[in-house]
Structure 1
């Protein structure tokens, strides 16, 4: 299966679990170059019964995350599989105009509150270091 990212020169905007080096290292066996970024008009929403967030439209919102650069086609395929079918790939403009791609949530169970990265780190991230 061809990756949704494989032929894109644009960086990948990540906003949830893929912001954690432990997760990237577990998935890709390395931590790609990244830099801080933000996406206006969106939020990383908490999802019912899931430890990870979903990026959803939010007028006036701001999703903070990172831009991953230099992903190989193989790594893109791994990230596609990790994100799964409940996410769709979308072109976005971060930080007021820089082109990027991101995974947008298209599933249900979106909660009113934003995803809590600190809570995720406390409850889940330790498992990636084992």
Structure 2
């Protein structure tokens, strides 16, 4: 097995990165993706932001998108994009066919910024987000 293969990682996205226009501005590679669910997690609004957070929460679930076999270079780009308020953790996600697998996901670590409101993907303000966080 080559070092490149060993460095590949699945990535579960649940906020801005689950939208192709954002994902494609952050990563260089092209990756297969599909809907997936993170159980035992919840997704909330962050006060004053258009993107959400995801935190562990018993009995909750978050629907998102999983990208398969993401390269180490693109994982580094995702780490930089997520910044200091998120940490990459391995979590279990469930695919549409019921299979469960491990994937990296970015968990919010600034609880003082959390809102009580659940974040809804249909309310995502794509243009505002792109112009603020992906201006190139």
Shorter-chain TM band: 0.7 to 0.9
Distance change (3 Å), C-alpha of 1:23 and 1:88 = same
C-alpha deviation, 1:70, in angstroms: 2.8
Q: Given that residues 24 and 31 in structure 1 are in contact (C-alpha distance below 8 angstroms), is that contact kept between their aligned partners in structure 2? A: no
> Residues 58-97 of structure 1 correspond to what in structure 2 (within 5 A)?
58-95=57-94, 97=100
Aligned to 2:128: 124
Q: Which runs of 4+ in 1 moved over 4 A?
A: 125-130
Gaps of 5+ in 2: 1-5
> C-alpha distance in 1, partners of 2:76/2:43?
23
C-alpha deviation, 1:17, in angstroms: 0.5
CA RMSD of aligned residues (A): 2.3
C-alpha deviation, 1:72, in angstroms: 2.0
Q: Given that residues 93 and 103 in structure 2 are in contact (C-alpha distance below 8 angstroms), is that contact kept between their aligned partners in structure 1? A: yes
Distance change (3 Å), C-alpha of 1:36 and 1:121 = same
Q: Deviations over 1:5-49 (max 9, x none)?
A: xx6544111100000100012222455221110011101111111
Gaps of 5+ in 1: 1-6
Taking structure 2 as the reference length, the TM-score comes to 0.78
More helix by share: 2
Q: Given that residues 50 and 129 in structure 2 are in contact (C-alpha distance below 8 angstroms), is that contact kept between their aligned partners in structure 1? A: no
C-alpha deviation, 1:97, in angstroms: 3.1
**Matched residue count:** 124
Aligned to 1:98: 101
Q: Deviations over 1:61-101 (max 9, x none)?
A: 11111111132222111111000111111111111631111
Give the SS at the match of 1:18.
helix
